[in-house]
C-alpha cells in the first residue's frame, strides 16, 4: 500500500529490559532507558512486563507488592512521566489483590503531569507447561486476574492496554476496538521458546486485524532466576509493517505515530466496517 504524506501525532518508544530480582537496580535501568527515549523525542513510552521485578521465585512479587495509589514503584512511574513530560505505560507492577496470597499484575498509565489516568490488570494468566524446554508456569498461583478492558484517550489516539499472554486472545482486542482503540500498548515477557514460535506472528496479526499501531515492549535476555526471555520488542503499524525492532538485550526503539497513515488505511481498507459479529 502506498503511504500518504505523514501527519505525526507523536513519537512512541518501546523499552526492552532484562530485569532481575533487585527492584532498585531495575528502576535505575528503567530510568536510564526512559531518559534515552525522551532524548530521542518520545512522547509516549511503554515499559515491559515485570520491569521492576523479575524475581528468583514467583512469591517474590508478594513481598514487593504495593497498595493501589502508594508505593515506591508507583512514585517512580509518576516522577518519570512528570520529569520527562511524557505519557508512560508502566509495564506491570504487583499491586495488592483481594486474596492476600496473590497480587494483581497491574499496568498503570501516566500523563505528562505525572497523574495516573488508567489501570489495567492482566486478564489472561500464563498457566502452561512447555515440554520442549521443561518449563512450567503457573501465574494464577500468585496473580489474581483482572476483568476490565482498558482504553484511554491520549494525544496520539485511543490507547488500549494488554499484557503478554493476553496477546493470544483476539476477542480482548476486539472489545478494545469497540471502545475505539487505535494504538495498542503491549508490555510482555515472552519465553524464548514461545517467542521464537509465535511472538512476531501474534503482534503483526493484532495490528493487521485491528488496523492499529502496536507498541510491544518486552523483556529480552537471561535473568538471574535462570529464565530466558525472547526480546524482539517492536512497533508495528496498522498495515502490519514492523517499523522498529530491538532484537536482543536492553534498549529503546522509537517510531513516529502517523495519524494520516492510520486514518488512510482504515478508510481505504475498511475491514473494521465489514464485521458481521460483535463482542459483548
DSSP for the chain, written as a single string: -PPPPP-EEEEEEEEEB---S-HHHHHHHHHHHHHHHHHTT-SEEEPPTTTT---SSTTHHHHH-B-TT-SHHHHHHHHHHHHHT-EEE---EEEE-SSTT-EEEEEEEE-TTS-EEEEEE--S--EEEETTTTEEEEGGGTB-------EEEETTEEEEE--GGGGG-HHHHHHHHHTT--EEEEEE--BHHHIIIIIHHHHHHHHHHHT-EEEEEEBEEE-TTS-EEE--EEEE-TTS-EEEEE-SSSEEEEEEEEHHHHHHHHHHS-GGGG------
Q: Could you say which architecture CATH assigns to the domain 9-274?
A: 4-Layer Sandwich (3.60)
CB 168 within 8 A of CB 197: no
Residues of the chain with pLDDT under 70: 1-6, 279-280
**pLDDT at position 5:** 54
Amino acid 8: pLDDT:
80
The Cα–Cα gap between 260 and 210 comes to: 16
The answer to whether residue 139 is catalytic is no
Query: In the annotation, is 196 catalytic?
Result: no
Annotated active-site residue in 122, 150, 228, 254: 122
pLDDT at 278: 78
Q: Which of 61, 66, 150, 164 is catalytic?
A: 164
Report the C-alpha gap between 91 and 89 in whole angstroms.
6
pTM assigned to the model? 0.96
* 279 annotated active-site: no
Q: Which of 49, 66, 139, 182 is catalytic?
A: 49
Amino acid at each position: 500500500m502506498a503511504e500518504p504524506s505523514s501527519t505525526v501525532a507523536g513519537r512512541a518508544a518501546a523499552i526492552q529490559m532484562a530485569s532481575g530480582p533487585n527492584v532498585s537496580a531495575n528502576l535505575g535501568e528503567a530510568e536510564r532507558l526512559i531518559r534515552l527515549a525522551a532524548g530521542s523525542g518520545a512522547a509516549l513510552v511503554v515499559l515491559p512486563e515485570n520491569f521492576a521485578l523479575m524475581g528468583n521465585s514467583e512469591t517474590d512479587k508478594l513481598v514487593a507488592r504495593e497498595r493501589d495509589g502508594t508505593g515506591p514503584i508507583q512514585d517512580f512511574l509518576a516522577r518519570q512521566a512528570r520529569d520527562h513530560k511524557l505519557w508512560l505505560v508502566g509495564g506491570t507492577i504487583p499491586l495488592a489483590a483481594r486474596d492476600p496470597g496473590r497480587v494483581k499484575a497491574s499496568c498503570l498509565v501516566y500523563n505528562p503531569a505525572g497523574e495516573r489516568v488508567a489501570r489495567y490488570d492482566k486478564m489472561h494468566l500464563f498457566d502452561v507447561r512447555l515440554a520442549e524446554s521443561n518449563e512450567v508456569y503457573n501465574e494464577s498461583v500468585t496473580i489474581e486476574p483482572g476483568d476490565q478492558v482498558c482504553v484511554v484517550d491520549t494525544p496520539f489516539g485511543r490507547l488500549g492496554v494488554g499484557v503478554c499472554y493476553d496477546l493470544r486472545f483476539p476477542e480482548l482486542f476486539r472489545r478494545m476496538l469497540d471502545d475505539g482503540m487505535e494504538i495498542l500498548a503491549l508490555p510482555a515477557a515472552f519465553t524464548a521458546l514461545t517467542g521464537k514460535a509465535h511472538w512476531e506472528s501474534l503482534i503483526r496479526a493484532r495490528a493487521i486485524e485491528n488496523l492499529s499501531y502496536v507498541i510491544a515492549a518486552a523483556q529480552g535476555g537471561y535473568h538471574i532466576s535462570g529464565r530466558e526471555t525472547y526480546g524482539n520488542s517492536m512497533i508495528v503499524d496498522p498495515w502490519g509493517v514492523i517499523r522498529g525492532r530491538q532484537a536482543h538485550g536492553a534498549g529503546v526503539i522509537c517510531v513516529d505515530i502517523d495519524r494520516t497513515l492510520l486514518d488512510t488505511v482504515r478508510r481505504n481498507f475498511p475491514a473494521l466496517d465489514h464485521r458481521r459479529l460483535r463482542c459483548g
